[in-house]
Structure 1
Amino acid sequence: MISRQISLTASIISQSSLCKTVVVILEHRFASTPDGAIWTATTNAYYFWQRYLEVFDQVRVVARVQPVDSVPANWQRVDGDRVSFAAVPYYIGPMQYLLRSRQVKRVVQEAVEPTDAVILRVGSQIASCIEPKLRAVHHPYAVEVVADPYDVFAPGSVRHPLRSFFRWFFPQRLRHQCAGACAAAYVTKQALQARYPCSHYSVGISDVDISEDFLVLTPRRFDQEARTLNLIFVGTLAQLYKAPNILINAVASCVQAGIDLKLTMVGDGKHRKELEAQALALGLGDRVCFRGQLSAGKTVTAALDQADLFVLPSYQEGLPRAMVEAMARALPCIGSTVGGIPELLPPEDMVLPGDVGALANKIREVVTNPERMAQMSARNLEKAKEYRDEVLREQRIEFYLYVREKTEAWINQRL
């Protein structure tokens, strides 16, 4: 009943509103083919933007787009009916951004019209190109806080000579952006709110939504027979803030202690070759499989279903989508005590980030105890149900309605 009322309210506002478009600015990198189509290898495909279209008539996405001749067959289309793009010149890293900063700022600022609602998915360098201009004219904007730069630049997570400066600067900027927002949606229930408060309307809503058909029906069972246990890691290898190097070292420690393990690494990036070399140097050549980047959907689901234990020892997280998806497939999970992970896992299933010995000990504790793994499976499956789309949808709609209402009020003041 509540859901129908919210949808009806959104429909009525949509028909009469001066604010029909929401501009969403984010850091995700996309690709464009010569026919003008926009593609993604992982998240933020077309279905993701449908959540905004429940309240707004149009979505204009502002993000980096790299022109390519073609994309792999398993990539997903992003643009479509009522979802368009303002393509930001493509760059990777601070130096490339500095070389293109004037072009980037021009595209981002021209993408926002006076009658648009604006949502910044932060932390984001691109969002910082428009936020000062919005403040200058008192144009309201909302933030969706999806990552924590303080942890992104933690020791060991990023190799850069200015890492310490970035760890001070970017959290300061994010606090400033959240303080000036008319509304904030955090992907965590408490963690990000504590560091980056918004004094106005705020809510904790994960941007992970699990469909009913993705949830398995029953927890897993684990037998007592000795066999090779399969671990899985899902995360970017473009930086080391998911700590794949720490995980490989921990697996090596377990194998040396006589634990029969294999590890599947799902993800890609510039550190892949050095991680492959690390695995070989540790004698894990036949025990660590690098799958590369897998598209969301059946391919990732199959990889999760073939695993026995999901491990994500990150230095930083918002609320990790990959972990929630693993939990929805009833996988036991080990994580680190950062970001929103403590909102997903109990203390006994976590370790401090960067501690190889603690992670190796935790893996050994878990994989040598089938009963514990079964209990973890059952608990994780129940926890994942909290992230079903039907549970989160109404909260999102209320948030978008509030953003639209505040934008409408500002527009009316200017008329």
Structure 2
Amino acid sequence: MKALFIHDHYFVHDKVNDKYYDGSGGSFTKYMWDRYLSVFDELLVIGREKENLPNKLVISSSNNVGFVLIDDIKSSKDKILKYKIIKKKIKTEIEKVDFVISRLPSTLGFFAIDICKEINKPYLIEVVGCPFDAYWNYGGMLTKVIAPIQYFKLRNYVKKSENIIYVTQKFLQSRYPNKKQTIGISNVNLKEVQNVGSVLSFYNKSFETFNIGLIGSFHVKYKGHVEAIKALKYLVNKGQKNIRLNLVGTGDSGWLLDIIQELNLNQFVNIIGLLEAGEKGILPFLDKQHLYIHPSKQEGLPRVVIEAMSRGRLVLGASVAGVPELLSEKFLHKPGDWKKLANQIEYIYSSKYMWEKMIKENIEIALKYKEGILQEKRVSFFKKIMNERN
């Protein structure tokens, strides 16, 4: 059987070696496609095309996986002009497969569901985020007008569909309910969890610099970078001179550099940029941090928070989406509340007696998100759908 996966994710096609690369984020790799290939014989991926090669670290090409890329939609006018062409191209590909996996919210994903209903093709929806939070926190008045429109659109599509995978256990289910066949499965790809002993040996070492990590794309401004920098400035002004904020992410960080320079924080902030996912980049980075913070204003269930917990890191986060499913209330702050974040960082730093308990709790929670456990649930759900269809 052949399945089709569709989402607005960017991919880059290097025509020289005929390889496809993840164009934004680095999580769409062979390991992600293997999740579906354990159920289907072949997988066709439809996403958006990015012309430049910003990220050749992470390859997306894999055996039994094909790609069809759609020209990037850069504006509403562009979307209207290309609507028929795009939809026809997607329909042609959907007709060739047995099953469709539509990851929402995404423009291409919505197109795919319309087509599936039109030609009676079985499909499943993966709900990975809240468009209301994304648009509301993105920018100016226009995006705040779009936010409720996108909210009701996703709510309507989910309500009228039969098979839904949510990445959260509660949050997305409550905002975008479905009374038919649903399950909550995170899309984190967690292969191992650190043992408590090795983590404690790291924290028991003396250190001159208390490292704080934050991972989030620089091309969006709702990932909490500004709040993290304001919290850092507050702490530096109070005399905390041995802390450093280490930032990892894709996109142009120029706007952030301007803020850092304006606040005279150059010596306290390290912009690392892009790192490869997993054990070749992100995990070694996390292993060097004493604290991971995630002050993002919009999420589904943030994979990186689970990854940080799996490495036994101390973690603080904003109380958005599925984050409260991972962290207890005392380690949460309201989105945008940089002063509470600063106070929490200061409290964590000065409360070493709590570290061992926090480390053990985080590792225990992360164990529930190991890939083997999640994949067993995922395969079982897919097979149930296919058996009922047959």
Give the TM-score normalised by structure 1: 0.87
Q: Which residue of 2 aligns with 1:179?
A: 159
Q: Which amino acid aligns with 2:226?
A: N
Q: Which residue of 2 aligns with 1:277?
A: 258
Q: Which residue of 2 aligns with 1:215?
A: 194
Q: 1:291 aligns with which of 264, 267, 272?
A: 272
Select the structure with the greater relative contact order (CA < 8 A; seq sep ≥ 6).
Answer: 1
2:222 is the counterpart of 1:238: no
Aligned counterparts of 2:237 and 2:205: Cα–Cα separation in 1:
21
CA contact (8 A) 1:367 1:373 kept: no
2:167 is the counterpart of 1:196: no
CA contact (8 A) 1:60 1:85 kept: yes
- Structure 1 stretches of 4+ moved >6 Å: none
In angstroms, what is the RMSD of aligned CA positions? 2.1
Q: Which amino acid aligns with 1:32?
A: H
Deviation at 1:99, TM superposition (A): 5.3
Pick closer, same or farther for the CA change 1:359–1:99 going to 2, 3 Å: farther
Deviation at 1:65, TM superposition (A): 2.1
Deviation at 1:96, TM superposition (A): 5.0
Pick closer, same or farther for the CA change 1:366–1:92 going to 2, 3 Å: farther
Q: Which residue of 1 aligns with 2:6?
A: 25
Q: Which amino acid aligns with 1:117?
A: F
Q: 2:291 aligns with which of 309, 321, 345?
A: 309
What stretches of structure 2 of length at least 5 have no aligned partner? none
Q: Which amino acid aligns with 1:207?
A: N
Q: Which residue of 1 aligns with 2:143?
A: 163
Aligned counterparts of 2:235 and 2:274: Cα–Cα separation in 1:
26
What stretches of structure 1 of length at least 5 have no aligned partner? 1-19, 410-415
Equivalent residue of 2:281, what SS? helix
Aligned counterparts of 2:133 and 2:355: Cα–Cα separation in 1:
29
Q: Which residue of 1 aligns with 2:34?
A: 50
Q: Which residue of 1 aligns with 2:322?
A: 340
- Segment drifting more, 259-268 vs 346-355: 259-268
Aligned counterparts of 2:92 and 2:355: Cα–Cα separation in 1:
53
Deviation at 1:194, TM superposition (A): 0.6
Aligned counterparts of 1:266 and 1:107: Cα–Cα separation in 2:
36
CA contact (8 A) 2:98 2:121 kept: no
Q: Which residue of 1 aligns with 2:127?
A: 145
Q: Which residue of 2 aligns with 1:364?
A: 346
CA contact (8 A) 2:196 2:360 kept: no
Deviation at 1:378, TM superposition (A): 1.7
Equivalent residue of 1:278, what SS? helix
Q: Which residue of 2 aligns with 1:17?
A: none
CA contact (8 A) 2:30 2:61 kept: yes
Pick closer, same or farther for the CA change 1:94–1:378 going to 2, 3 Å: farther
Deviation at 1:147, TM superposition (A): 0.7
Give the TM-score normalised by structure 2: 0.92
Percent identity of the aligned residues? Answer: 28
2:303 is the counterpart of 1:321: yes
Aligned counterparts of 1:283 and 1:159: Cα–Cα separation in 2:
26
CA contact (8 A) 1:54 1:397 kept: yes
CA contact (8 A) 2:21 2:55 kept: no
Deviation at 1:388, TM superposition (A): 0.7
2:228 is the counterpart of 1:251: no
Aligned counterparts of 1:359 and 1:256: Cα–Cα separation in 2:
15
Equivalent residue of 2:94, what SS? coil
> What is the aligned length?
383
